[in-house]
Amino acid sequence: MLKIGNLKIKNPLFLAPMAGVTDHPFRLICKKFGAGVVYTEFVSANGIIRENIKTLDMMRFTEEERPLGIQIFGDDPEVVGKSAKMVNEMFKPDIIDINYGCPVPKVTKSGAGSGAMKDLCLMDEITSAVIESTKNTPVTVKMRAGWDKDNIISTEAGVRLEKIGVKAITLHPRTTSQKFTGKSNWNLIKELKESVNIPVIGNGDINCLDDYKRIIDTTRCDGAMIARGALGNPWIFKEISNYLLNQKVEKNITLKDRFKLCKQHYQLLKKDKTEHVCLNLTKKHFSWYLKGFNGASDWRKKFMYSQSVDEIESNLESFEKYVY
């Protein structure tokens, strides 16, 4: 059993925080399929201290989602520390995670996200401020390998973070300049694992059970965090969970499975979102779910061209007849 601080985690499979994706409905679905820990979308420290309604809504969760982490990002240690205290008191998550991994320029240009990896002293200050503000909640970090290929600092940063008091580190071993191109260098996860005594979670290029097996065998990391590998494929958590539990691994996803998931996800979105947001998110997720079968392209187009939730529901009824 994995321990992060005093938190015991039975299943070391993590759903990564992803902007515009890991909202309440998608977290529930991934939990149902076997994710051990889920994360909210990453949220701005500035938005938190201003009590921005949209920001606060992104952090709301239900008890069935636990254990759950809330990930925050920012470039000002005082602001990030204050935001972490507010998150801890208002929402009481199981984990507070600091984002040192986002490579998007609008985040990194101020020194937030993976921009902090250009200044290890700033990273130290932000991390210390969060830990001091959240005494009873384990603080973790998700980070990249470094800014670019000439500045790989993940092991040095990890050693420093452990000394400050971080309880676990997730490493996505790409650089900021790579963004999501090229390959993850899993050897950096292995190097970090051999250099610290806290849990190390491997992340990057985990798209199936075989990838999971390889990253564990290659790096000896303590768990795996899945991000893009779960888009349109929450079944990946079931596949890996069944393997870990020595249960039968079902790799064949049927058309009925896809229909049932589309219907379930739509119903969760309809209950949780405004009609406009529900429509847009339904289209986004259905574009990922509806792949890999005869006629998939035509069905994707039907849903993508839907102008209302009524049209989505009508197309779902037609899709059900097609499936059954």
Closest to 37 in 3D by CA, of 69, 80, 71? 69
Known catalytic residue at 121: no
Helix (H, G, I), strand (E, B) or coil at 96: strand
**Partners of 118 in the beta sheet?**
none
Query: Distance between CA 255 and CA 320 in Å, rounded?
Result: 10
Residue with tokens 């079931």: 238
Peptide bond into 138 cis (omega under 30): no
| 276: CB partners within 8 A, 6+ apart | none
Find how far residue 22's CA is from the centre of its chain: 7
Tokens of 125: 């200050």
72 membership: H or E segment, kind and range: strand 68-73
Tokens of 310: 């009524």
* Given 30, 102, 221, 278, the catalytic residue: 102
**Partners of 296 in the beta sheet?**
none
Query: Distance between CA 125 and CA 127 in Å, rounded?
Result: 5
Tokens of 59: 């952090």
The 3-state DSSP composition of the chain as helix, strand, coil percent (nearest 5) reads 50, 15, 35
* Residues designated as active site: 102
